[in-house]
Structure 1
Amino acid sequence: MARTRSLNPFLFFPAQVTILTSIVYIVLFAVVIWVAETVPAAPSNKTPVAGVNLTEAWLDLENITNGLYHPWGSRANEQVREYLLKKIEEIGERNEVERKTIYAANGTFTSETEGVKALNIFASDSSNFTGSDGWTKRPTTLYGESENILVYIRGQEDAEGDWWNTTVPYRGSSGVLVNAHFDSVPSGLGATDDGVGVVTILQLISHFTQRGNQPKRGIVALLNNGEENGLYGAKSYVRHPLSQFPHTFLNLEGAGAGGRAILFRSTDAEVTSFYAKSPYPSGNIISGDGFKRGFVRSGTDYTPFTEELGMRGLDVAFYKPRSRYHTDEDDVRNTSPDSVWHMLSSALATMQALTSYDGKEFEGTPDKRGRLVTGTGSDAVWFDVFGLGFAVAKLSTLFALSVTLLVAGPVILIILEVLIRKSDKWYPFAGKRYLRSSDDDEAVRLHGRRGFFRFLMAFVLATAVTVLLGYLLAKVNPLIVYSSEYAVLAMYGSAWFAVAWFVLKGASSIRPTALQRMFVLIWLYVLSWVLLVLTTVGENNLHLGSGYFFVIYNASVFVALLISYLELFVLPNVQKYVEHVLGVQGDAASTRPGSRSSRNLLDQGDNANDDGEATERTSLLRGRTNRTNQNTFTGVSRRRADRDEVPDDVDDPYLSKHYIDEQAWSSSLPQWTWLLQLIFLAPINIIIVGQILLLLTASINQTPADGNAVLPVYLLTAVLTVLLLLPLTPFLHRITFHVPTFLFLIFLGCLIYNLVAFPFSREARLKYFFVQEMDLDSGVNNVTLLGVDGFLQDIIEEFPSAAAQKLNCAETAVANRNGLAECSWHGLPPNVVPRKYNGLPSNSTHKDWIHFNVTKHGNSASFSLQGQKTKICRLYFDDPVSSVAVEGGASDDRQPNVPEGGSNQVHLFSRTWDKTFRVNVTWDEAQAKGQTGRVACFWSDANQPGTIPAFDEVRRFEPVWSAVTKQEDGLFEGWKAFSI
């Protein structure tokens, strides 16, 4: 008789399938979540490596942040710089290294002390740069003066002497650069952006200068200033004599505020292999491809190192939570020693591997432009597994594997089908089979086509429901994903599972088939094969490796489907099966007259001719008796034999071991192979796809506050959720109703919550952007906030200065804030320049905060511009200028002054206070007349209450679910108009 239950834990029965699939998914996805939400614990030993002290690193981080914003143009920034210089000097003294501090004046380097120079500190220099804003692609020219700190740790194989003092290109063994920036934004305390990177470099200096740890290749440790304003520190480094020495680099950054530091991007597979030495490597090629295709709009110092210096290296950064990024919650309270150790341990292992490398892979010489020629390396593919293992491969290898799977998979399956057909065991898609030895048209229905389109129907319906739920959230409560991403994922997963189960289980109950698992795998293989085609095209044409998981997906589905093909070999020969079925039916009818089936035959008598078409539930022995010519084959009529069913009272082990009402020929199929298929399908895809799902969700769920569209967030997470659950579909029809019922209740709860819940919280505060502008001639000032429409107005309602005013709100015109609203009102007047400052009269006003003069010469003009108590100024032109020259500015072919199409702005950054900038600009001849624009300066220091009262008010009265961040280089911009 057909079996429905067994105590064997490995059989393909409902209880076993329900329990084992639930365990696999629950356990593995729980581990994936745990890895994503936790950071490996720092060692209890505070000196886990020689020269590394975790307690000291944490205290340095506290001192760098110190509750103060320290952007360029603040006194706190100078204090941080002095603290870092002091710490480096202390490290040198503690490790008893002979060192000298080197100062630069007019490009000439001299030293305070002589001797063996194992450690050289470049404390200040006169480097500057003038170049276009290549990162954001804006029509802007940048001018910056270096306030970087550079430390050179001489390697065992480095050239002797002060080689940086010569104009001859360095010819010795190349070194390694490690970089972090010590400035913060005016609205952020900079603990992870980039304080952790800074203290990591301090510990690296301590480690590599300790006795016995001198690296084989020299190290340049760069602590740069001005990254937050436009990568100024890295761009200034391009002009420094030391920049010719390193050919590889490790950049340490922060685009979140805690958690794990992941490998953001890498130039090539060869250099990525060094990061794989980390004890807790984390990262995925998807982030690198996001930068490559422009989907990630943040910039890091990685850009000038690769594009202007031609170096090969790595970008390691914190990436979540983004709601704390560039806010006052980027502090030591919201990071941990574990996060410090995660970045430090990765940096230490990577630097040890890079500096001890014996090969010539990264050697090279500068070209005519001074750009290093070190080769480009191979495009890389990388991903971690549970933050413990790290896979690195060349993109060419992935492409070869993709092509192999695309070709070999179908060929192998075709060959197997041919062999199975030759063995006469190809039951899939089989209809009737006739008895060759009979003159009659007796046949057995094999029902090999039954259920082929079930998966397609279930997949389309369940996926459509999931996608429509994403559209619903984007319409009703679009920002709920900002704080409740797991509620959204739970809603997606439970809805898709419930709908797919209902279709597959319902169809299986009505028309059961033993081929449902195989048919689902065929559809999965077709789907994964199509996705693999797209992946292969992306690998070859766009050099994208993010589709690597489709390669794994296709391979795992292929192996599972291969098992189903091999299962067919154990089935009986179709023709022999037909003969056996007809024989069993005939024997049952002729030898057991008392049986139910034979009684039915006798009772029908002459009326059997009036029977309708047989159904699936019709007994196989039901038929008609021909009065004139009894069937020659054991008395069984054609009508009865036209089924594949077996009499209920026949105990034939050849036919009666099938599952319930599935085809009798399936009795020979092994009942344990499903477990092999589950093992090949589920674990690897749960881990790989699950990690990608959580990484992308954490990376993009809070980006709508920056101006990104919200619908792609919902659609992308919906698609990945479907991919996560697809490996379950071959077994879905065997799962009992308890699981989908429970998940349906979860779906209802999550749906209601996602539709009505407030989308922000103290742990996930909505970011909005602040800037105050003032016409210094008229004294009219406006506070402008940018943020999500509707919620921005709710925030502004809390501010006393805006309560009695009419807000001017509109969609913002700021290029990188598309989709956000912009609201302005007359704000509290600033006090950024005190009276009598720098010789100003006691009755000075805001008009005295900026002094400028402009002289026109044909189609050129000379500007003289000075801001009081600031280091940052700008020139705005209504018509773009074709050339820019800043007095004292260096020129470099690697950094063109003006982008194609001209510059509408010139940004000026000085290392000294109150600098007078002198700038010469030229317009095209057609634009030489009637030029207009503005001169402006920025003030960024809001550490002293009352300096920028409008910003103080915002911080004091903003709702607890919101967080202010900066919009421009400074918090307050004062300007004056010019016309020439």
Structure 2
Amino acid sequence: MTITSRIRPILGYRTLPTTTLLVLIYIIALISIFVSDQLASIPHQGSKKLKWLNLDLARWDLEHIAARPHPYNSHANDAVRDYIHSRLKDMADGRDYVHIDNDLKSNTSWASPTFSVYFEGTNLLVKIDGTGDSDEAVLFSAHYDSVSTAPGATDDGMGVTTLLQLIEYFASNRTEKTAIFNINNGEEDWLNGAHAFWQHPWSNLTTTFVNLEGAAAGGRPMLFRSTSLQPIQGYYTAPRTARVRSPHGNVLSSDAFARGVIRSGTDFSVYAGSDRHGPNFENPPVRMEGLDIAFYKGRSRYHTKWDSPSFTDGGELSLWAMIEVARGVGSGLLSQKPQTKEAPSRAGVYFDLFKSVMVSFRLKSLLTFNVVALVVGPIVLALLYVLAAVIGAGDTPPPVPPKRPAQQSGNGASASNRPPARTFGSSDGQDDASFWSKLGTKRVLIRIWQHSSFWVALVVTTVVQGLLVWGYVALNPFIIYTHPYSVLLSAFTLAYLTVVLTLKLAFPSSPIKHATISREKEKTTILLHVHFLAWVALLFATVLIAKARVGGVYVITAWQRRAPRRSGSGSSSSDSDDDRRHGQHRGDERTPLLASSTAASNGHAGNKDGDEGGAIGWWIVQVLLSVPLFLALLGQIALMLLDSMSQTLTDGSSAATVYVATAFVAVFLVLPIAPYSPKLHQGLTYLAITVFAITTTYLWVVFPFTHDDPFKVFFQQRVKLNPDTVFLHSNTNTTTSLSAPKVTTLLTASPVFLHSVIPYLPSSRGKDLNCTQDVRRAGLLTCEWDSGARLVPYPGGKDPWGWWPGSSSSSTWLKADVTRTSWASAKITIQGRNTRNCRLYFDSPEQSGVKVVRYTVEGGSRGMQPGYPVDQEHGATEVRLWSRTWDRTFVVDVDWEPTRLARGDNGEEEDGTLSGKIACEWAEYESGMVDNGSFRGEEKAKIPAFEEVLTFLPEWAAVTKAADGLVEAWVPFSV
């Protein structure tokens, strides 16, 4: 027995070695991805990494900040602000280079394409002077307000707690550059605190920013977005003791934000200026370079009561992870050399490898590499095709020898060994020609089938995956919400079955003696088509980079780059050895029959023990080149996509989109093993069938929500007021038949389960439900019903209009006045009780005949913030008013332009009428103000309908806010 024959069962391209190696690669990659995704441990006491940090104090801060809901429009918000301010004063005490600005002056007006805002800021800012001469500063930002339905532990209590630790850290360990901290207020009401920052003088110093956010319920924070490649260098330039040990980020999240796939917003867009609009900002340049770092796992608890310190994923490990990342990146940015003002913003590609290192490079470099690969690719494909043809040429089996004629008795031995004499006119030659013609046609058809089998497998896989997606969407669309990894496993096993079985059908097992050559030809043939698919995918990816600046397609480049391009000299050498050993050659009419018989018998003896042949060595290199790296990159992307997208369905995201993305990833996870599929053990097929059947059946029938991953519903209560009790004058041209306020409860959620949730609420039983599609959240349904007298909300606070006739402490919500000041302008006065948030809604130009083109608020700064003008084409349809003081009287001057001329009662043409609604918002409720101490007795705000939802919702559901106010009281107006 030769050495080759001994090592072939272990290293040869055979079923058992091939299956073992591929299974091991997949298992190791899977374990590595999940293990690296776990939160890192906290360094031991005395570690240099904890120098100038105090995690015990950080936990204490978080417990105070996230003790209860504290939205901007709440007294709890004031209490949190006072606590943070006291902590800042303690840290600045005795340090003349640490400056605190309790900003109660900055206010701003700005507009988005859908609404307009007037905001009075209450930000807390800190400036730590740098030791150098650089005039550049780095901004660190987080918001201390929460939504009204959540204590805000991760959104954004951990971010604020991290900033408090960083202030102490950089105050004790000063850097060359100046560090500025914006602990802002009003982010949850659509990024108002960041807009107020631009009104502050310190905004002129900052050139780079780090924004800390929480879009989920903890876990490992990731680099959500980056304006360019430049701020990512902070991961590399930090001092060694402060460097981030476990960086996590992927450019795919930035691509998703840029294209509206993620329905969320952070202060990043305001600091970077990416949301600016108007005539001068069609393609706005970057306003300030920076990073967006946020939590993203556990979105089902986002903005609900479960976003509290006790229910945060990872607990103090998550807090430490945020502190470590912010400290490391911030130290790196503060250590960077000053950037030239003219330096261009370079788009970048970034991703982490097993949370160990952050990889980043220019997007332009990726584009250049792809273009080169696209040119070289066809040349390589041609070489592959030639190589496949050469291998195929040597794979012609020896011809089948003609059967010996039956022996005739009495002819002797010599006669029996002599071939039959051919006579003139014999048909044997014609029969041989017909036989070889049929054999040639069959071989051509087999070759065509084998070359098309990969594409057939791809089409079959696509169709079957489409059917699987349809099955999930039709039978149990929310199951990925709770079991995302199981859904991926289901799609993966199905993709494995369709790809492998189709290719096995094209390349069936063969026991013949030249199987080594046949298997090499199979592998080379499939590799040829896999490489062509990778080239097509790379072409598509290159177009996305060039046209849409999408960086997440780097994984396609890695796949195309690592795809093997030849079968290798090792296999060819082995094949030649086998040929020589088996003595394969073409026979002819002069070939001795004895020699052919001997060769055949030797071949039979060589295969009687199941010997598959098998090239030694090179196929292992091919597997290691083509599978592990692509599998690691794609596996990490799959984990991130499932963790970030699976629980967006209750926000209105399309279930089909999420399942299609999962199926797409599953198919590409299988493709690396396609060239080796004919050599995979049959036991894997049986295992895949079993796993797919059990997993899919379970996922189609199990209930999709749990206590840990609840179904999310959005709440608001509306109070329609009688104009006679609101307006100070009767010139608003508004009449109503209301004698008492009309109070309705609204729940918004996915229509699939909303009708299952509503019956749990006692106030809804026996009521007429009015259900319509939600105008702000596509894909969600809003149902409303009469709240009933028992669930009427109460604004709380003292009645500021006790002098008003007919006013009572239980009936007054707001007072307003509307006065026309010219033919196209009016003055609107509004004051809400125990609130600092009111709104003006204007009817659409199609309905009213006018469009609002300007507004100014008395006492506010004049003009709109640059880059955020009122849409002059459609006008302002909503103006949100925010005050830093309670019970403030807003005086708003409004100018409009007519869009059409209407006819009055006398038949004459006249300008259109300004009409709409005046409203105020409330966000405080009794259970959310426990131990607040701000009010006593009747002065405490109450929202009984929201308390009912908190009490009676099933354990598998959770409630969040539908708008800035849990209660909105409104009255129509016309002038």
TM-score normalised by L of structure 2: 0.83
Question: 2:383, 2:532 → 1: CA distance?
Answer: 17
- Alpha-carbon spacing, 1:467–1:33, altered in 2? closer, same or farther (3 Å): farther
For the residue of structure 2 that corresponds to 1:582, the secondary structure is coil
- Quickly say closer, same or farther: Cα 1:46–1:186, change in 2 above 3 A: farther
Cα distance, 1:591–1:131 mapped onto 2, change above 3 Å = closer
2:146 is the alignment partner of 1:142: no
The DSSP-based 3-state class of the residue aligned with 2:843 is strand
| Structure 1 Cα separation of the partners of residues 530 and 13 of structure 2 | 20
Cα contact 1:875–1:935 (8 A) shared by 2:
yes
SS class of match (1:275): helix
Compared with structure 1, are the counterparts of its residues 51 and 649 closer, same or farther at alpha carbon in structure 2 (3 Å cutoff)?
A: closer
Counterpart residue identity of residue 881, structure 1: V
The answer for unaligned runs of 5 or more in structure 2 is 237-242, 277-285, 400-428, 723-739, 845-850, 901-910, 931-940
Residue 935 of structure 1: which of 918, 921, 926 is its match?
918
- Given candidates 309, 316, 322, the residue that maps to 2:299 is 322
Q: Are 1:873 and 2:856 matched, yes or no?
A: no
Q: CA deviation at 1:583?
A: 5.4
Does 2:265 align with 1:299? yes
1:854 aligns with 2:818: yes
CA distance in structure 1 between the partners assigned to 2:13 and 2:264 by the alignment: 50
Deviation, structure 1 residue 550: 0.1
> What is the CA distance between 1:17 and its match in structure 2?
1.8
Task: Write out per-residue CA displacement over residues 476-517 of structure 1, whole angstroms, 9 at most, x where no aligned residue.
Answer: 111111111122111111122123332333443366732111
Structure 1 match to 2:959: 964
CA distance change for structure 1 residues 785 and 580 in 2, over 3 Å: closer, same or farther?
closer
Give matches, 1:224-623, under 5 Å.
224-276=184-236, 277-307=243-273, 310-335=287-312, 336-358=315-337, 360-361=338-339, 363-364=340-341, 375-414=343-382, 425-427=390-392, 449=447, 451-509=450-508, 513-514=518-519, 515-557=521-563, 560-564=564-568, 567-568=571-572, 572=576, 581-582=585-586, 589-591=593-595, 595=597
Alpha-carbon distance change, 64 to 579 in structure 1, aligned in 2, over 3 angstroms: closer
- Which stretch shifts more, 742-751 or 919-928? 919-928
Give the equivalent residue in structure 2 for 1:112.
none
For residues 729 and 485 of structure 1, what CA distance do their matches in structure 2 show?
Answer: 25
Structure 2 counterpart of 1:858, which letter?
A: W
Q: Which amino acid aligns with 1:516?
A: E
Aligned AA (1:305): Y
**One of 126, 139, 151 as aligned partner of 2:126:** 151
Give the Cα–Cα distance (whole angstroms) in 2 for the partners of residues 650 and 767 of structure 1.
69
Give how far 1:352 is off. 0.8
The amino acid of 1:948's aligned partner reads: I
Alpha-carbon offset, residue 30 of structure 1: 2.5
Tell me the secondary structure at the aligned position of residue 451 of structure 1.
helix
Q: Contact (CA 8 Å) 1:493, 1:725: kept in 2 or not?
A: yes
Mapped to 2, the partners of 1:271 and 1:975 lie a distance apart of 46
Q: 1:30 to 1:467 in 2, by over 3 A?
A: farther
Assess, with a 3 A threshold, how the Cα gap between structure 1 residues 650 and 187 changes in structure 2: closer, same or farther. closer
Q: In the alignment, what sits opposite 2:777?
A: 816
Identity of aligned residues (%): 31
Q: Offset of 1:704 from its aligned partner?
A: 1.6
Moved more, 851-860 or 943-952: 943-952
Describe the superposition over 1:26-46 as per-residue Cα deviations: whole angstroms up to 9, x where unpaired: 22112213334x211222327
Check conservation: 2:221, 2:294, Cα contact below 8 A: yes
- Quote the Cα distance in structure 2 between the aligned partners of 1:261 and 1:203: 17
Deviation track 1:180-219 (CA, whole Å, cap 9, x = no partner) reads: 0000001111111011110110010000111xx1110001
How far 1:585 moved relative to its partner? 10
The answer as to whether partners of 1:266 and 1:315 remain within 8 angstroms in 2 is: yes
Corresponding residue to 2:888 among 886, 894, 915: 915
Q: Which secondary structure state, in structure 2, belongs to the residue aligned with residue 581 of structure 1?
A: coil
Q: Which amino acid aligns with 1:867?
A: G
Query: Structure 1 CA distance, aligned partners of 2:666 and 2:384?
Result: 33
Cα deviation code 1:110-154 (max 9, x no counterpart): xxxxxxxx0000013311010102xxx31x111100100000000
Q: CA deviation at 1:673?
A: 1.7
Q: In the aligned structure 2, how far is the partner of 1:131 from the partner of 1:53?
A: 39
The CA deviation at 1:565 is 7.4
Q: Give CA deviations for 1:610-645 in whole Å, capped at 9, x if unaligned.
A: xxxxxxxxxxxxxxxxxxxxxxxxxxxxxxxxxxxx
How far apart are the structure 2 equivalents of 1:744 and 1:648? 40
Q: Any idea what SS the aligned residue of 1:688 has? A: helix
Matches within 5 A, 1:710-789: 710-777=655-722, 778-789=740-751
- SS of 1:561's partner is coil
Cα separation, 2, equivalents of 1:35 and 1:428: 48
Letter of the 1:402 partner, please give it: N
**Cα distance in 2 for residues equivalent to 1:119 and 1:10:** 67
Structure 2 match to 1:183 = 145
CA gap 1:455/1:215 in 2 versus in 1, 3 angstroms? same
Look up the SS of the partner of 1:771 in the other structure: strand
Question: Which of 151, 155, 169 is 1:193 aligned to?
Answer: 155
Q: Please name the residue that 1:102 is paired with.
A: none
Change (3 A) 1:63 1:312: same
Equivalent AA in structure 2 for residue 90 of structure 1: D
Change (3 A) 1:782 1:660: same
The residue that corresponds to 2:100 in the other structure is 121
- Tell me which amino acid in the other structure corresponds to 1:912: T
Name which of 944, 963, 970 aligns with 1:949. Answer: 944
How far does the alpha carbon of each residue in 1:833-876 deviate from its partner, in whole angstroms, 9 at most, with x for none? 34753463796155522111111121111111110100100001
* SS of equivalent to 1:42: coil
Partner amino acid, structure 2, of 1:975? W
Residue in structure 2 matching 1:174, options 117, 125, 136: 136
Q: Which amino acid in structure 1 is aligned with residue 486 of structure 2? A: A
Matched, 1:204 2:202: no
Cα offset for 1:572? 4.6
1:647 aligned residue:
600
Q: Is the 8 A contact 1:216 1:356 kept in 2?
A: yes
Q: Take 2:153 and 2:206, find their aligned partners in 1: how far apart are those partners? A: 27
Q: Determine the structure 2 residue equivalent to 1:30.
A: 31
1:28 match: secondary structure: helix
Taking the aligned partners of 1:402 and 1:692, their CA distance within structure 2 comes to 20
Separation in 2 of the partners of 1:741 and 1:805?
A: 54
Q: What amino acid is aligned across from residue 257 of structure 2 in structure 1? A: F
Q: Give the match for residue 904 of structure 1.
A: 877
TM-score between both structures, scaled by the size of structure 1: 0.82
Question: In the superposition, relative to structure 1, how do residues 186 and 873 fare at CA in structure 2: closer, same or farther (>3 Å)?
Answer: same
Q: Indicate if the aligned counterparts of 2:398 and 2:585 stay in contact, CA closer than 8 A.
A: no
The answer to which of 474-483 and 222-231 deviates more is 474-483
Q: What secondary structure is seen at the aligned counterpart in 1 of 2:877?
A: strand
Task: Number of aligned residue pairs: give it.
Answer: 859
Q: Distance in 1 between matches of 2:769 and 2:149?
A: 24
CA RMSD of aligned residues (A): 3.2
- Residue 427 of structure 1 aligns to a residue in which SS? helix
Distance 1:75 1:535, change over 3 A: same
Aligned partner of 1:222 among 182, 185, 189: 182
Aligned partner of 1:785: which letter? L
Counterparts of 1:729 and 1:239, CA distance in 2: 59
Partner of 1:602: none
Query: Which residue in 1 is equivalent to 2:407?
Result: none
Q: Which residue in 2 is equivalent to 1:975?
A: 970
Post-superposition CA distance 1:55-86 (Å, at most 9, x none) = 111111111111x1000111110111011011
User: Quick one: which amino acid aligns to residue 471 of structure 1?
Assistant: W
8 Å contact from structure 1 (residues 433, 578) kept in 2: no
1:44, 1:585 → 2: CA distance? 85
